[in-house]
Amino acid sequence: MLVNIAWIAGSYLFGTIPFLAALARASGLNPSQEEDLHIALWHKVGKGRALLGGAADFIKGIIPVLVTFSFELPVIVIAFSGAAAMAGQMWPPSRSGHGERGNTTGGGAVITLALMFQAYFIFLALIPAIAGVSLALFRETGPSKWLPVGALIGFAVAPLASWLSGQPGHLTLGLLVILILIVVRRVTAELRSDLKKDSGTGRILLNRFIFDQPFLEGEKK
3-state SS of 119-183 is CHHHHHHHHHHHHHHHHHHHHCCCCCCHHHHHHHHHHHHHHHHHHHCCCCHHHHHHHHHHHHHHH
| Per-residue pLDDT tens over the stretch 118-166 | 999 999 999 999 888 777 666 655 556 788 899 999 999 999 999 999 9
pLDDT of residue 199: 65
pLDDT of residue 137: 66
Task: Read off the pTM.
Answer: 0.89
User: Which of 5-9, 46-50, 96-100 is predicted with the least confidence, judged by mean pLDDT?
Assistant: 96-100
Q: Tell me whether residue 218 is in a domain.
A: no
Residues 39, 144: contact at Cβ < 8 Å? Answer: yes
Q: Tell me whether residue 80 is in a domain.
A: yes
Q: Tell me whether residue 155 is in a domain.
A: yes
| Per-residue pLDDT tens over the stretch 104-123 | 999 999 999 999 999 999 99
Q: Is the pLDDT of residue 14 over 60?
A: yes
Q: Tell me whether residue 162 is in a domain.
A: yes
pLDDT of residue 215: 73
User: Where in the sequence is the domain holding 72, given as residue range(s)?
Assistant: 2-189
- The band of 100, judged by pLDDT with boundaries at 50, 70 and 90, is confident
Q: Tell me whether residue 90 is in a domain.
A: yes
Give the DSSP letter string of 48-71: HHHHHHHHHHHHHHHHHHHHHHHT
pLDDT of residue 96: 61
Residues 29, 40: contact at Cβ < 8 Å? Answer: yes
Q: Tell me whether residue 44 is in a domain.
A: yes
Most distant CA atoms of the chain, gap in Å? 52
| Per-residue pLDDT tens over the stretch 65-79 | 999 999 999 999 999
Q: Tell me whether residue 206 is in a domain.
A: no
pLDDT of residue 31: 81
pLDDT of residue 97: 55
Q: Tell me whether residue 221 is in a domain.
A: no
Structural domains in the chain (count): 1
